Every structure is written in C-alpha cells, then in structure tokens.
Amino acid sequence: MRTKLLLVALAGAVVACGVDGKMPTAPAAEAPGATVPTRGPASFLAGVFLGDENTTPENVGAAMNKYAAETGKKPALVKTFHYLAADLSPTGWAGKILHAIADGGATNYLALDLDWPGRASGSLLDAILRGDADARLDRAARSIAQVKGTVLVEPAWEMNGNWNYAWQGIANGNGAAPAKYVEAWRRVVDHFRAAGVTNVRWVFNPNTGNPVGGSNAGPSHWNWYGNYYPGDSYVDFIGAHGYNGPAVWKTPYHTFDDLFNGADADHMLRDMKERYPNKQIILGEIGAEETPGRDKGEWVRQAYEAMMRDPRIVGAVWFDMNKEADWRISSSASSLAAYRAAMQSSAVAERYNDALASHALLASR
C-alpha cells in the first residue's frame, strides 16, 4: 500500500525534543486578515503519479502525453516508486522509466523504498546504520547521477505512519525510532554526496497528522513528525502526504485545509512553515475520492486555490490512480474540469528549475 491517511490512535506518549536542538513549540496561527503575497508566473510545480500500469518503460511517455492533453499542462514532476535494490541504471527496467520521464521533459520525483530483499531480520533502520545498505546506496547514487536534469528523491516516506513500511517508527522501536531514522536519512544523503552526485534534491514528506498518536496529538508525542526531521542541511523540500478518503479510510470528510492544517493533521503545514522558514513545501502525494453527496470538483478547486494562495507551497503531486479508492483526476467530469481549470493558471510551471525554489536548496551548496 502506497499511503494512508491518519487517525488510528494507539497507546503511549513520551516527551521528545526536536531535531537540531529545536524544542517543540505550538503551531503558528495565521494572522487575522493577513495579506497573502501574489504568486509569480511559473511558480508552482504540478506533479503527478500516473499509476502502476502507466509507470513502465513502455507506457510512461504516452501517459505523460495523455495527462498533458487532459489537463492542458505538461507535468513538471512525475513521481515513481522504486526499491533500493532496483536497477536504476540506464539499462535497468526502473532506470529506463527515469530516463523516459526526463526525455519527456519532466523532472523525476523518486520515492526511494530503503528496504531490500534478503535483508537480515529485525529493524531496517538498524541495518542501514550498520552499513548493510551501503553498497546498494552507492549503486543507486551512481545510477541516479546519470539521469538528465534534477531528480527529487523522497527516501522512506510516511515514516510516522502505522502501516506496512519497514522504516516507520512503529517497526523500529517506537520512541527510539525517530533518532535512528534521522541518522539513517543522513547516511543515505552522505553516500550520495560522497559519490559526487549533484543533481539530487531531497524531499522530506511525513503523513499528515500523527497516525499513531491520533488527532491533535501534538509535539509531545514520540511519533510527532518533527522528531524525524533530518536537519536543514540534509533536506531541500519539506511537505506531507494526505488524502481525503472518508469512505475508504473511515474518517471524517476533510477539506484541503482540514487535511493538512486541521486538528486531525496535527496542524502540520502551519507548524512546518514556522519551524522550517527557509524550506519550501512540496506535497508529495494528495488525492480525493468520489464521495456521495459531495462534489470532488469543488474539493479540487478549493485545494488548488489554497495552494496557489500560499507562496510557500511550490508544488504538489496528484496520486492519479484507481487504487484504494478512485483518486484519479478524471474520476468524474467535475473533477477533471476543476483540475484542468487550476492548471490554466500562469503560476503553474511545466518545468522544474532550482531558481524557482532557491530558498529550499541546501545551505551547503
């Protein structure tokens, strides 16, 4: 399963300090009547995951063209999911996908699954910290360096979730896990740097809220997203994954703001913007199901209107697949029309470039 929303409350909370010496604080409130800065042209990256069937070397180029025809804009970012053990070289199956995306004019957004077949039993994070993944990391780094253009890499996403991802806190010792995650992330980045890779930008995307602690758990809980943050010098972009799926997830209906800023989301985006003021935001996965009695097109319209109003949000990746629910842009005429209308904004870019997101680049570069 790629992702889930929040809201499964389990027991236990321990006091934890933030990474890099930052103590947890309350989320920032939006100033009443605050004026939102105007977006400039080509300042928002529309991204898409095209679905499993379309994400193959043979199909991805045609799927990108279909997306452009349906929405009126070429995708600036195309997301794919790959295991650490995958052959990402130009001749490997996974690598051919990356090169086809780059050849099609989009920027690769690579979700990197840090697990691998045959790993020793026990904690994945401990295995990475022992060096068990080092050779695979070096191979992945050399392969990704050969991809044309920038590659956004999102290692070990939704680390604060409570589903079947081997890097999540609940699979690695609960309260002890966030510190291990931080060190594992840094080890990954350090291997890429040691290999001389210069075309990678690192994206930190937890799930919205605290799926272990429950709604409004806050920063005192061990699984609070900020405890997993690897530090400003190891992260280019921050963000979150969130889906409005009341039927499939058995949760309340969430507007875009509910999903990323409400109590169920632990007020995540507001907190991120206060805590990490020099980092721009890319929402690595968003989606909405078709809900009886609700207009998905209106949800899409409000979501992109909210993102376009917020200059800190420089991109979002729509999960365009009929999977747990029909998340697709084209799940209804209303949804597609709303998405297409959003894409007509002059703020929507068809190309990534570092100048667009200059404030998000690593301080070390």
- Residue 354 is predicted with a pLDDT of 80
Confidence check: pLDDT of 32 > 60: no
180 CB neighbour count, 10 Å cutoff: 20
Task: Show the tokens assigned to 68.
Answer: 């452009």
Helices (H), the chain: 60-71, 93-103, 124-130, 134-144, 177-194, 246-249, 256-261, 268-275, 296-309, 333-343
Find the mean pLDDT for residues 223-232. 98
| pLDDT for 18 | 37
More confident residue, 117 or 38: 117
Identify the pLDDT of residue 41: 87
Q: What confidence category does residue 39 fall into, taking pLDDT thresholds of 50, 70 and 90?
A: confident
Report pLDDT digits (tens) over 166-198: 999 999 999 999 999 999 999 999 999 999 999
User: What pLDDT score was predicted for residue 40?
Assistant: 82
Q: Give the pLDDT confidence of 192-222 residue by residue, as tens digits.
A: 999 999 999 999 999 999 999 999 999 999 9
The pLDDT of residue 358 is 53
Predicted confidence at residue 7, as pLDDT, reads 30
Return d(Cα 275, Cα 18) in angstroms, integer: 10
CB atoms within 10 A of CB 182: 20
pLDDT at 89 over 90: yes
Whether 238 shows a pLDDT value over 50: the answer reads yes
Which band of pLDDT confidence, cut at 50, 70 and 90, is reported for residue 356? low
Mean pLDDT computed over 347-351: 95
As a CATH number, domain 19-23+41-360 is 3.20.20.80
The string of pLDDT tens digits covering residues 266-324 is 999 999 999 999 999 999 999 999 999 999 999 999 999 999 999 999 999 999 999 99
Domains of the chain, residue spans? 19-23+41-360
Q: Which of 273-277, 289-293, 325-329, 353-357 has the lowest mean pLDDT?
A: 353-357
Residue partners of 235: CB distance under 8 A and separation at least 6? 202, 203, 204, 229, 276, 279, 362
